[in-house]
A and B are shown apart, each in its own frame.
Chain A
């Protein structure tokens, strides 16, 4: 493609697939194959929703067939009984799906991950029986005589024109998902599976994003159902039963649940296999029946065991991920929040306490951090430093005590609320999204500084904001000396650089107070020196830093004030020189002579 059109940017190459769709119709394919491909396109749309939900978001639903049913029945009922145009009913169907998904999602997603699939099983079943028993929907006979889709008097609901419609829709759906996953919202979604705690600390409302992807998946299914109803010209409950809900998940898993193209691959294989098995198995067994579920069931287990990334992963890696093109060098800088004046008290921790059952992990600790100050929090292992961190940042709830940040009481606030106020942190055990690049991981830190949502992202109306976010992310990576790792996958980094990446991510949120949990662990001597330089520079810009660290050279070198903890209690505090001179501190670390 690049050779043909030397000025054509490579990242647009995939859109040529859209142009190929009408060309396929011109091929001398038998009508039977066009029909099969139409079904595959319909299934692909549903499976794509599951890729977003299951492969990316780590949630799953067995109720997608029910959403297909809502789309199909809504349109069938409204066109046949109320005389609406199909082009209007799609929006009604999508609205109903959205409300249902919001209801089910809101009820289940606040609890742990397995309640959504369970609820969707029950929900899929009850919807199936509802469709089969309502007089208005024609009971198990369904609704007959659904009008075909026509565009300016031209029948696009059958055969080849429908092929163009279905595959055009499916490809647009695929592109929209690819766009979404590569956006501010997409990065937050990609954190849902393995790093919700980190995402919340970066200000991501993870519940909202979980409900959001369920809603998007439901609407992909709804569009498929709408197309299905007008293609079949009749609807009845059987294609929307739980069995099909499970089959859609099978497609996504078989094709590759982590990748958008896996959805199409899975739909293709499943449809072809189903057709072959429905002919072959009854011959083999001697009686007719839906025996293909045996093969599907066994295959599902085998695929999860031996090919967990699905069939697409066999070919997918040939399409090497292109390095992101630097298009942000001339982007406008992001606005920054007003910073506290030098010397102003930024953080005031008073008598915070945390009890785990009978164990007092943090025992009435009090200290202050002033603007432009680096405060070290040190103490032997198990002294309660990281727990104190978690109390201050709202990751853990406190038993008693109070935390004030920039003059406001933040006691008991969630980590997300605290992040919006300008406190940012790193984690003792690095939390990141390993299959995203370093740059993308860092850009997640700037989540609260952007506002483009899912729809803007899907339509690529967020380009300007994206450039600004990446400019900021790149700036902090350069500052921390990580520029050459910018395009590496975060999971491929060594421990030290991973920690530096976390610092860049925290800086990306434009914090007034930075909390660093053992940033120097795993760093080499040179890297430590560079880190100290960065910390000093940040301080000179008015940043306040609270530092938990075991490397005493670094702590004594950069901090202005040190708080020492032992067994959850406040041992002493003072300047580095005072702490070094303290007998108590020495005893705490090394023990006393008797």
Chain B
């Protein structure tokens, strides 16, 4: 291995690592606020990449139908809950429309826009809106009524949601893989390196999102409310913060990050309906490195995972996944030696 190969691998590792970082951040975010270990995070990535791919062909992506179904279920649940609370049909209908309005609007917009073959960036924005709308609905349908269950139950629910979302991905996108066009085809020569425009976009987006998240949590009331919910659900509720609202907002952010990750990674690899799972898990390994609590460590961990993967695939390409996922054992050893916290009663 000479310097140029090493630097190509480094670049590759950092590029992928940046995407894992986003997914790791989303994992930490969701866990911190809701105690849900969100295994299906990767599914949003696949949904994002594939939705854009289908939009590119001028067809209506299957995610639209899925969104409508999910919005229908969530709306019925909210309507029923409102009816049980006040025994008033009018309230129920209002609650129903409140939940369904935005997802249905996005779905209709997509159906109208799909055949018109909008420019790539407009389609990307539409994709992000569409996939982000899934977040709160998934929380509403699968998690909300179990929000006070043990984190073990929530984890098993996550696995169920992962199964369902992967299967539905197969149903709506088919088994075929897609590769998206690059957002920026330019290439820059830096010494022996050719840096692709897409790699720059990935890096810039990751940094921008991290800064935005930081500003959100440090500088906005909503962000502070989410942090309060993370620390003490009951206390937050007594202070007038809706923990359900916090959960839905968090899931919307997770879905948004997932969709963006999908757009970022779409042009660099072929994405299948089930590709998201492995991507999400790599973000996960990074998140575990930060003890599911630290954003900066998760970021460093993600870059580390990306680098290990890049060099692993150079030296032993068949064992790339083995190396990446076995990495979690030394990470856990390190954590268990530094983390003095002994498992408490559930």
- A107 and B37 CA atoms in complex are apart in Å by 19
Task: Give chain A residues whose Cβ lies under 8 Å from the Cβ of B207.
Answer: none
Chain A residues 454-475 with CB under 8 Å of chain B are none
A329 to chain B, nearest CB (A): 36
Task: Give chain B residues whose Cβ lies under 8 Å from the Cβ of A296.
Answer: 160, 163-164
Is the CB–CB distance between A300 and B153 below 8 Å? no
A193 sits at the interface (CB 8 A): yes
Is the CB–CB distance between A246 and B159 below 8 Å? yes
Is the CB–CB distance between B344 and A112 below 8 Å? yes
Q: Which of A197, A289, A300 meets B157, CB within 8 Å?
A: A300
Task: Give chain B residues whose Cβ lies under 8 Å from the Cβ of A29.
Answer: none
A316 sits at the interface (CB 8 A): no
B152 sits at the interface (CB 8 A): yes
Which residue on chain B has the smallest CB distance to residue A285?
B171
Is the CB–CB distance between B319 and A58 below 8 Å? no
Chain A residues 91-143 with CB under 8 Å of chain B are 103-104, 107-115, 117-119, 121-123, 125-126, 129-130, 133
Task: Give chain A residues whose Cβ lies under 8 Å from the Cβ of B239.
Answer: none
Chain B 128-153: CB-based contact to A (< 8 A → 1; otherwise 0):
00000000000000100110011111
- A399 and B149 CA atoms in complex are apart in Å by 35
Is the CB–CB distance between B325 and A126 below 8 Å? yes
- A80 and B307 CA atoms in complex are apart in Å by 39
Is the CB–CB distance between B328 and A293 below 8 Å? no
Is the CB–CB distance between B332 and A119 below 8 Å? yes
Chain A 284-302: CB-based contact to B (< 8 A → 1; otherwise 0):
0101011111111111110
Is the CB–CB distance between A119 and B329 below 8 Å? yes
A498 sits at the interface (CB 8 A): no
B12 sits at the interface (CB 8 A): no
Chain B residues 294-324 with CB under 8 Å of chain A are 318-319, 321-324
- A108 and B149 CA atoms in complex are apart in Å by 22
A280 sits at the interface (CB 8 A): no
Is the CB–CB distance between B326 and A126 below 8 Å? yes
Q: Which of A58, A119, A294 meets B328, CB within 8 Å?
A: A119
Known interface pairs A110-B342, A111-B339; A129-B171 also in contact (CB < 8 Å): no
B53 to chain A, nearest CB (A): 19
- A143 and B178 CA atoms in complex are apart in Å by 33
A194 sits at the interface (CB 8 A): yes
- A312 and B157 CA atoms in complex are apart in Å by 20
Known interface pairs A122-B325, A290-B170; A113-B343 also in contact (CB < 8 Å): yes
A7 sits at the interface (CB 8 A): no
Known interface pairs A291-B167, A293-B164; A118-B333 also in contact (CB < 8 Å): no
B106 sits at the interface (CB 8 A): no
Is the CB–CB distance between B155 and A111 below 8 Å? no
B120 sits at the interface (CB 8 A): no
Known interface pairs A107-B329, A113-B152, A121-B281; A301-B343 also in contact (CB < 8 Å): no
Is the CB–CB distance between B325 and A291 below 8 Å? no
B269 to chain A, nearest CB (A): 17
- A119 and B330 CA atoms in complex are apart in Å by 11
Is the CB–CB distance between B166 and A293 below 8 Å? yes
Known interface pairs A107-B332, A118-B284, A297-B162; A304-B322 also in contact (CB < 8 Å): no
